[in-house]
């Protein structure tokens, strides 16, 4: 196979869709003051001690809760998670609706809520550092609790797009605006 040099110097942002992601519900807050959102950018940073990072858009309500409470939880979603459930946490704003109404969750070690519906595992973290990356903040947290809930297969972001035909919300770090083409 021959290597082809990018002579035009353009960045094909669609190439970024080949990076593997999962699909998660990230929650934060304390007690009754909590919110949650769908997130596809959660990753392990170190193993000893275990640290994870999440990238949250600054406009998202959950961002405010992570920044104020300094804690977050991640529920790893099963590939069998219905689109309606994903839409509930991904396409509604917690400023306008109680995202936990009718949802099975438990209180975590840090005081935030952990979503149990459709979760194969969860991790809870205390924020150690945050990195401003423009539209988003990357929160790096030390894992203080983690549990495997089922042996179901986790959902990948590719599966969400290709099999479930899910869409990417405008505020997601992986969102790519489709250019409108003029009709000739």
Listed by start position, the domains of the chain span 22-162
Phi-psi region of 31 (alpha: psi -120 to 50; beta: other; left: phi over 0): left
Give the pLDDT of residue 130.
97
Closest of 38, 53, 43 to residue 170, by C-alpha: 38
Q: What is the pLDDT of residues 84-138, one digit of tens each?
A: 998 888 767 768 788 899 999 999 999 999 999 999 999 999 999 999 999 999 9
Give the pLDDT of residue 75.
98
Contacts of residue 180, Cβ cutoff 8 Å, sequence gap at least 6: none
**Res. 181: pLDDT tops 50:** no
Q: What is the pLDDT of residues 1-38, one digit of tens each?
A: 565 666 566 777 677 667 778 999 999 998 788 999 99
Give the pLDDT of residue 184.
39
Q: Which two tokens stand for residue 37?
A: 């959102």
Task: Give dist(CA 37, CA 99) in Å, integer.
Answer: 9
Q: What is the pLDDT of residues 41-66, one digit of tens each?
A: 999 999 999 999 999 999 999 999 99
* Alpha helices, DSSP H, located in 50-176: 61-69, 83-90, 157-162
Grouping H, G, I as helix, E, B as strand and the rest as coil, residue 11 is: coil
Specify whether the CB–CB gap between 99 and 121 falls below 8 A.
no
The CATH class for the domain spanning 22-162 reads mainly beta
Specify whether the CB–CB gap between 123 and 140 falls below 8 A.
no
Specify whether the CB–CB gap between 25 and 113 falls below 8 A.
no
Beta bridge partners of 124: 73, 145
Distance of CA 80 to the CA centre of its chain: 17
Grouping H, G, I as helix, E, B as strand and the rest as coil, residue 56 is: strand
**Res. 167: pLDDT tops 70:** no
Task: Give dist(CA 35, CA 49) in Å, integer.
Answer: 27
Chain-wide mean pLDDT for the chain?
85
Beta strands 119-132 and 71-77 are antiparallel
Beta bridge partners of 77: 119
Give the pLDDT of residue 177.
60
Task: Give dist(CA 54, CA 165) in Å, integer.
Answer: 24
């Amino acid at each position: 196979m021959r290597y082809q040099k990018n002579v035009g110097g353009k960045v094909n942002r669609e190439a970024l869709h080949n990076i593997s992601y999962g699909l998660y519900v990230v929650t934060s807050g304390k007690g009754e003051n909590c919110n949650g959102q769908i997130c596809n950018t959660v990753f392990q940073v170190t193993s000893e001690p275990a640290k994870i990072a999440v990238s949250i858009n600054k406009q998202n309500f959950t961002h405010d809760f992570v920044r104020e409470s300094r804690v977050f939880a991640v529920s790893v979603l099963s590939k069998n998670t219905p689109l309606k459930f994903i839409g509930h946490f991904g396409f509604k704003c917690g400023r306008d609706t109680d995202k936990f109404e009718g949802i099975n969750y438990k209180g975590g070690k840090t005081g935030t809520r952990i979503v149990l519906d459709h979760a194969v595992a969860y991790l809870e973290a205390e924020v150690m550092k945050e990195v401003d990356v423009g539209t988003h903040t990357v929160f790096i947290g030390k894992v203080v609790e983690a549990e495997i809930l089922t042996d179901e297969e986790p959902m990948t972001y590719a599966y969400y797009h290709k099999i479930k035909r899910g869409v990417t919300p405008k505020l997601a770090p992986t969102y790519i605006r489709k250019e409108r083409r003029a009709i000739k």
